[in-house]
Structure 1
């Protein structure tokens, strides 16, 4: 019987990845669809992708599939064909990374979850199938040129901080489940305006658009394929790039450059910087922005406490400056 999960240590998998000579292509994908047997679906997916040397993080639930992965470049089309052959995944859009060093993932993990994106919605009358209208990069630029259009960023605070579309409204939170009711409250009284929602790859803004329609908003749109598809199409079609800064990504890269500007600042010295790191102290591992100078000064740590201590207990964490508060930044696992 085939093994349906990895049994090799993380260190060994990393060594194997860096020993590879063929470049890898990083991509993401999602689709909302009814999956009657998520466990069986997951197992079929694992067996097929493992044979293709795919690494990544994929979630399967009764409501659909959500994944970020990498594959040897020569096998991308073979991977695409395998996914398309699965009932319900025909013509699945693969968002190919804008910037890619091929080292985004080093192991394949496929997990069954209650939902592919946690939303906190308990209303049984809600359906993600009644969603807003897709807009592509060209339509997004046309609609956002209208001053009456409202653009809403449906990503977390630390994602918005390093990059976002011109004029986009931030819904300041670290979780999507908190953002959904906040977005409704934020836009009350503007139910008849054009509202465009966006996120990294499309999965959050698609569900958010459905939630806004469910709550009485009338002209709701969401950016097809998210920031990643927008960046690729804007380049391909020669469009004005309205995105400023860096797109945060949930893999080992932690970001890809979309706009030329650096709009964020180092959390330690305040200099322009948009490089996210995890604190080098394993007892902390806080996600924060750090410039090269501070990385040298603090040895990759978020504070003198972490730099000078072998471990960090809960009490010490609570004494950190406010800009390291866990409500605004969190550890990123890979």
Structure 2
């Protein structure tokens, strides 16, 4: 984005800088409030009794940190930035933003798997996997694996003089042929492992429901499975559509809010694999890459709306037990009381018109 802005005219540079900074800041502001509400909800002991609640709390925290790192990257647009601050933003902040985003991506798949396991009967192996004590270990494994998969990126990030603007800098990632191959493998893993976890979770849920219904109604297992697939087939929609062309995804993304990370990850993955190096004169490609990178953060910004608002149980805890929910409810009640008080104590000459008509009608009858 910086190169695109610096190679534009002075007037376009101001407009593009404002548009990009405004878009990022608005997304971060909405995401900050969304994740603060989510953290305030999932911090309660009631929701942290299950592994899903613990994972959602960590997911909200990582989403918040990832969005804050995205906002810090805006400082790269400052022309007065010297080498050391630019180096920190390029090599540290940008790397952390990528790491937190991948942690959220994998945690999303783990949450789906944990939810599916809770639909099964108590088996010792499953109890160990879905136990509350196992949640921190699972999250620790994810964090360590994601960090190790980004070590090469952190090492290969370099701050170089901008070839089109003297005295300014650009942030680049320079991979050798071997590391580029390794990075391609990791990109596929970041998409296909969470995708596989979601598909597996959906299959397990369908299997559990079908087994119970077959036993209850004395029917065959596969007939119940097909029946449940027709009813709950939408669960497979988001992860399946992640494998189709980007244009198809964009068309359907307007009709389903639950597309989550798979929809938002694929455009960036396609661009990363297709264009390892971009000519600065191809402005459309630079802007497309910038848009894909921003789309990647949409699920992190929409945590409250996707997770809490869509769940009656979580939303009930938010309204009644979370600090933010109680404050919002008190403010709404206070406004309602003020409106009620104002309407009840209006002067005679400000009495609503329909009430005056009613009073006149009563006097005429008397």
TM-score between both structures, scaled by the size of structure 1: 0.26
Of structures 1 and 2, the one scoring higher in RCO (CA 8 A, sep 6+) is 2
The structure where strand makes up a greater share of residues is 1
The structure where helix makes up a greater share of residues is 2
